[in-house]
Chains A and B, each alone.
Chain A
Amino acid sequence: MELDPLMLSRIQFAFVICFHTIFPVFTIGLASYIALLQALFFKTQNPAWDRLALFWTKVFAVVFGMGVVSGIVMSFQFGTNWSNFSLATSNFIGPLLSYEVVTAFFLEAAFLGILLFGRGKVPQGIHLMAAALVALGTFISAFWILAANSWMHTPAGVELIDNRFHVISWFEAIFNPSFPHRFAHMAVASFITGGFVVAGVSAWFLLRGRDPEANRRALSMCLWLLLFLTPLQAYVGDSHGLNTLKYQPTKVAAMEGNWETSTSVPLLLFALPDQEAQRNLYEIGIPNVASIILTHSMHGEVPGLTAVPPEDQPPVAIVFWAFRVMVGIALIMIAVSFVGLFLRRNQRIYESQLFLKTLVSMISLPFIAVLAGWIVTEVGRSPWLVYNIMSHAEGVTPSLTGWMALFTLIGYVLVYAVVFYAGIYYLTRVVRNGMLPEQEQASVNRDADRPKRPLSAAHTPFDDDIDPARS
């Protein structure tokens, strides 16, 4: 079998970035949540807020550490596998990625240390400020990355001279047409992810009767937040979709599974797109609804895939189904948020076993939704790396051979499997040992012995038979 370095590089990039994305999408939301908890503690001096902030800061430390470790690979992968793309776009992408690194390090240098290790050592106001700045920093990081990514979808503000992009307007390039929508969509997704994880873990604690005072507060807060954010995300996602319709109609056609440009297009609930035959098998749809969603009119025209030649079409089935996974999960999340509102009567959100267990089981759903959404947007622009200008095939490293790409793909999968296993295993232990008052207190007092690194903020031992003096 001929190994295709292009396809293998794409799979490798997809794998590494999907793995990496899990962590920042959570930390962005969680950082803001921690800042909020600190602010509430600062204002009310109610120790329940402090206990919550302490626990979630530990979780944050572990997840942030894993995000940094998995992110290192990203900054080299552009060069190893996509050297032609890197060289062509370096005038724009280079400074943006560097600014992200600079922001992240600046943050880590100045404020993360205070947030993780300053508790009880710096004044409360300073600690709160550090938490707020860490939260701000996660947004600034996301800003640079999403600006670079959005530019690849909707390139603007540049001029192509001798196969290299030169920036004419930094403002237009950074605030390119799809950027505001993508940033808003991702920011809200981060809050929703953080919200469901905190709600799920609080529910897990409540089911075990652990620190009910604090966890009830956390659960209630999250459910209020989700009640507003999940419908808001539907709106933001819709406007992002309309933006995509304008700039990347082929992607929208793939999302809808619509082959021929036509009017009064149904919303397909189920279909098996057949790329070869350029049509769908077994369609089940609701008449006119796709037209209504996309054009806000019963008989609006929806672009079709066949408007571009088959080699310029994305793999339709992947985009079509990933989109349905994302939307399906979104609907579940909206429904659960409204059930939460309904159950507030008589405090049943804190007591209904079924509801609490549902929340626990939903912890992984926002992550799946985020990954599905990214698969829609990234696979959907295929075969373009820089939309309508540079294809994946043009961007790949010319000297790369199939076996080299296969070697590193397998290698990264193995390395990340170990990291992920160790990280998730450890995170589970942090949660299991979480919110136990006497232990939290003891760990704070031991802070002085510990080196200053993100994961060190979590004191939980890795395995059971640990000598407590050393943990």
Chain B
Amino acid sequence: MEMFDLSIIWAGIIGFGVIMYVLMDGFDLGLGILFPFAPDEEARDVMMNSVAPVWDGNETWLVLGGAGLLAAFPLVYSIFLPALYIGVFLMLAGLIFRGISFEFRFKSRRNRHWWNRSFAWGSAVAAFAQGAVVGAYIQGFQTEDFVYTGGAFDWLTPFTVLTGLGLMAGYALLGSTWLILKSEGHVQDWAYKITPILLAMVLVVFAIVSIWTPFVNPFVWDRWFGHLHLIWIFPVLALFFAFLVYRSVKQRRESYPFLATIGIYVFTYLGLIVSQWPMIVPPNYTLWDAASAPESQLFLLIGVLFVIPFILMYTAWTYWVFRGKVRVGEGYH
């Protein structure tokens, strides 16, 4: 296109969708990961109730991202999915199991422990698989002539296992700070207690991944140790927000820990994007290589630009309706 680059617009839309998904499904997956460690069944009720009204809306962004990729950057879709074949299956299975446990856990008592397990395992597996995807993206994909040519487990390396565990810890951190925001009493005390531990885990993985990444991918090395000094602002800001999380937990603030955790995510995400930009299927293809035909990008853009404001409004409205604390032994009022 002459007037404006549709591929850039689409990269913006999908990039926005991804971070929305990570933040929003992140905290509810994180609560699932923390589920087995909760002090008691009452705490589990509170945890689940705190996300029950919003989790399926959160997953909207995943499906929108998947379909949007096929339409706007089909090469990403047709290389990532074959390369991550087993991981994608595990993620979907995990999401399905935790999805139905949301529905059936509240409706059952005798079978409740099964739904608890299904919720915890489903969340953990989905989070790990997503973290491994991030690692696989940093590693890059073996391709030839626009086709994935690697093996079934190229996505599962020590590096991606680390990123997988890292994202589990990261989601758990989002979950615990969310719980601080949404709970009170002994449940909130527990959330305050575990947050620094989770933060430490996240920072350890963050440090190892940051040091390891330039060695995994020479392109990333050049990016960080080339001329672009300004990009160091992203990791610095991420660390600053990590400090804010720590301090606000010590001060027993209620909303700051969650908001500061979002800050960590946003700047880590931006750091990840500048590491690879404009590579969208590293190491061989840029986002323009991966783009679909301009007329196809434009055809869908019209509909998406129309609907995204509605989704945002609906999302905001839902969060507004279900604002406030979730108390032990009750649902929403």
Partner of B102, one of A73, A80, A399, A453: A453
CB distance from B174 to the nearest CB of A (A): 20
A84–B304 contact, CB under 8 A? Answer: no
With A397-B82, A404-B152 in contact, do A451 and B332 touch (Cβ < 8 Å)?
Answer: yes
**Which of A80, A106, A422 has the most C-beta atoms of chain B within 10 angstroms of its own C-beta?**
A80
Tell whether, in the assembled complex, residue A449 and residue B331 are in contact, meaning their CB atoms are under 8 Å apart. Answer: yes
Neighbouring A residues of B99 by C-beta, 8 Å: 69
Q: Which residue of B lies closest to A85 (CB)?
A: B78
**26 A–B contact pairs at CB < 8 A?**
A76-B81, A79-B77, A80-B82, A80-B85, A83-B78, A84-B147, A87-B75, A95-B296, A95-B299, A97-B67, A97-B71, A166-B295, A167-B296, A170-B299, A404-B85, A404-B86, A411-B89, A415-B96, A418-B100, A426-B107, A451-B53, A463-B107, A463-B108, A463-B111, A464-B110, A466-B109
Known: A75-B66, A90-B70, A399-B147. 5 other contacts (CB 8 A): A84-B147, A167-B296, A170-B299, A404-B85, A422-B100
- Type the 1/0 row for A74-97, where 1 means its CB is closer than 8 Å to any CB of B: 011011100110110011111101
A166-B293 in contact given A76-B81, A462-B104 (Cβ < 8 Å): yes
Q: Which one, B310, B332, B333, contacts A110 given CB within 8 A?
A: B310
Task: Give the interface of B toward A (CB within 8 A).
Answer: 49, 52-53, 56-57, 60, 63-64, 66-68, 70-72, 74-75, 77-83, 85-86, 88-89, 92-93, 95-97, 99-100, 102-104, 106-111, 146-152, 292-293, 295-296, 299-300, 303-304, 307, 310-311, 314, 318, 321-322, 330-333
Residues of B within 8 A of A91 (CB): 74, 292-293, 295-296
Contact of A455 with B103 in the complex, beta carbons under 8 Å? yes
Cβ-defined contact, B52 with A105, below 8 A: no
Interface SS, A side: helix
Given contacts A72-B92, A97-B71, contact A398 B100 (CB under 8 A): no
Task: Looking at the assembled complex, report how far the CB atom of A174 sits from the nearest CB atom of chain B, in whole angstroms.
Answer: 10
When distances are taken between beta carbons in the complex, the residues of chain A under 8 Å from B74 are 86-87, 90-91, 94
Structural contact, B107 and A90, CB atoms closer than 8 A: no
Q: Find out whether the CB atom of B110 lies under 8 angstroms from the CB atom of A463.
A: yes
Q: Is A470 an interface residue (CB 8 A)?
A: yes
Interface residues contributed by chain A, number (CB under 8 Å): 70
Kindly list chain B residues whose C-beta atoms are within 8 Å of the C-beta of A106. 307, 310-311
The B interface, classified by DSSP as helix, strand, loop or mixed, is helix
Given known contacts A398-B149, A452-B53, A79 and B81 CB-to-CB distance under 8 angstroms: yes
Do A76 and B82 touch (CB < 8 A)? no
A448 within 8 A of B: yes
Residues of A within 8 A of B147 (CB): 83-84, 398-399
Query: Taking the nearest CB of chain A, how far is it from the CB of B158, in angstroms?
Result: 22
Chain B positions within 8 Å of A344 at CB level: none
Contact A109 B89 (CB under 8 A): no
List chain B residues, Cβ under 8 A from A207: none
User: CB distance A461 to B75 under 8 Å?
Assistant: no
Given known A-B contacts A98-B67, A105-B311, A419-B100, A470 and B106 have beta carbons under 8 A apart: yes
Contact of B86 among A76, A78, A408, A462 (CB under 8 A): A408
A110 to B109, CA, bound (A): 33
B150, B314, B322, B332: which contacts A109 (Cβ < 8 A)? B314
Please state if A451 and B81 are interface contacts (CB–CB under 8 Å). Answer: no
Task: Let me know if A465 and B75 touch, CB within 8 A.
Answer: no
In this complex, what residue of B is CB-closest to A162?
Answer: B146
B311 to chain A, nearest CB (A): 6
Residue of A65, A87, A412, A461 near B78 (CB, 8 A) is A87
Give the CA-CA distance A389 to B322 in the complex, in Å.
52
Q: CB distance A105 to B64 under 8 Å?
A: yes
With an 8 A cutoff between CB atoms, is A331 at the interface?
no
Cβ of A102 within 8 Å of any chain B Cβ, yes or no, is yes
The answer on a CB contact under 8 Å between B79 and A102 is no
A415 touches which of B64, B83, B97 (Cβ 8 Å): B97
Q: Is the CB of B53 within 8 A of A72?
A: no
A276 is an interface residue with CB less than 8 A from chain B: no
Hey, which chain A residues are within 8 Å of B80, CB to CB?
A: 79
Q: Which residues of A contact B110 (CB under 8 A)?
A: 463-465
Question: B333: which A residues are within 8 A, CB to CB?
Answer: 448-449
**A101–B81 Cα gap in the complex (Å)?**
19
Q: Is A467 close to B, CB under 8 A? A: yes
Q: Is the C-beta of A99 less than 8 angstroms from some C-beta in chain B?
A: yes
Tell me if B78 and A79 are in contact (CB < 8 A): yes
Q: Which of B53, B60, B71, B97 contacts A105 (CB 8 A)?
A: B60
A432 part of interface (Cβ distance < 8 Å)? no
A164–B303 Cα gap in the complex (Å)? 23
Which residues on the B side are within 8 Å of A288 (C-beta)? none
**Residue pair A79, B314 in contact (C-beta under 8 Å):** no
B152: nearest chain-A partner, CB-CB: A404
Question: With A and B bound together, what is the CA distance between A76 and B104 in angstroms?
Answer: 25
Query: Smallest CB–CB gap between B92 and chain A, Å?
Result: 6
CB-defined contacts of B63 to chain A, threshold 8 Å: 72, 75, 101, 105
Selected contact of B70 from candidates A84, A86, A102, A411, CB within 8 Å: A86
